[in-house]
Amino acid sequence: MGKLSDVQLKAWVRDGTRIAGKSDGDGLTFTLSAQGTATWTLRYRIAGRARELTLGRYPDLSLGEARKLAAAKRVEVQQVIDVAAIKQQKKAEAKQAANVEQLANLWLDNTVRRRHQYPEVTERVFKRDILPALGKCNTKSVTTPEITRLLAKINASGRPSIANDALRHMKAMFAYGEALGMVDRNPAERIKLEHAGGQEKSRTRALSTAEIAKLLKAMREAGTGTYPVPVDCQIHVGSEDWQSNPKNVAQLGQLLNIPVQVVLSNGHMLDKDYVSKLLDTWL
């Protein structure tokens, strides 16, 4: 059982007084800088030398997560693996990543794929729009005008919300690259939403079931035109969905002759494994 508690940690952060090191036990240490940055470090000895590994920042890395990570790193140390040296080596390797595609993969691996329930949504923006335009560019040579022109192109294709998503993703990705030393200055940092898709406004109303049925029926009867006729269509909805009532969805499916699958014990966000398997059958 560790020595520290969330109550203590939160109180120290609120107080803001510098903490050189508070031990949770077995080398796991909590520090707080004069600027208010709270950090987890693992202190250990290898070959008789005192070493220190930064695990992450609190509260991004919770007390429980820090304990688990520290335990895993201690196992490596017991196998005479210098975890701090390995981390420095990985940083050096990251700096050598020459292009935006490599940086994107690093950022996706270490942030999006680790923390997001549906990373495929973000990956799709990179695959379709960002990487075809900037993927082969050197991370340090990408300019603000280049990104602005890319955003304008996405917006001109009738996808303003995707342009805004692309801007947010690139800001975060280049900030990550800047922290790794792969980017000298974040080229997307000063770009505003108005230079992408603009401020997004909530819809004043949604189409009714009857209106949706009428729209899709017209699309089917048209056969050709701007909107292609779906070759196949399915609707999957969680049994506990708070936005799309399963009964209403089932009624819509009957009107349109579209099969509806109600996924038990799921809410508005369907389970990641379920969606992944479903996508595999379609893509």
> Is residue 101 one of the residues assigned to a domain?
yes
- Residue 172 and residue 113 in one domain: yes
Residue 92 within a domain: no
Residues 6+ apart with CB under 8 A from 88: none
| 113 and 73 housed in the same domain | no
Query: Is residue 178 in some structural domain?
Result: yes
Q: What is the pLDDT along the chain (283 residues), one digit of tens a residue?
A: 678 999 999 999 999 999 999 999 989 999 999 888 999 999 988 877 888 888 999 988 999 999 999 998 888 877 766 777 777 776 665 555 579 999 999 999 988 887 877 788 899 999 999 999 999 999 988 999 999 999 999 999 888 889 999 999 999 999 999 888 888 899 999 999 898 988 876 556 667 777 777 777 777 666 555 555 566 788 888 887 777 788 888 888 887 788 888 888 777 778 777 887 887 777 6
- Residue where one domain finishes, among candidates 83, 112, 135: 83
- What is the 8-class DSSP label of residue 228? P
Contact 119, 113 (CB under 8 A): yes
What residues make up the domain containing 190? 97-195
13, 73: one domain: yes
165 and 214 fall within a common domain? no
CATH at residue 71: 3.30.160.390
Q: Same domain, yes or no, for 188 and 220?
A: no
| pTM for this predicted structure | 0.44
Euclidean distance between CA atoms 212 and 93, whole angstroms: 52
Q: Which of 142, 170, 195 finishes a domain?
A: 195
Q: Is residue 266 part of a domain?
A: yes
Residue 91 falls inside a structural domain: no
| Any domain includes 200 | no
Among 59, 83, 107, residue at a domain's last position: 83
141: exposed, middle or buried (C-beta count within 10 Å: 0-12, 13-18, 19+)? middle
Q: What is the pLDDT of residue 95?
A: 56
Report the CATH number that the domain containing residue 114 is assigned in CATH: 1.10.150.130
Quickly count: other Cβ atoms within 10 Å of residue 156's Cβ.
10
- State whether 122 and 178 are in the same domain: yes
In the chain, the number of structural domains is: 3
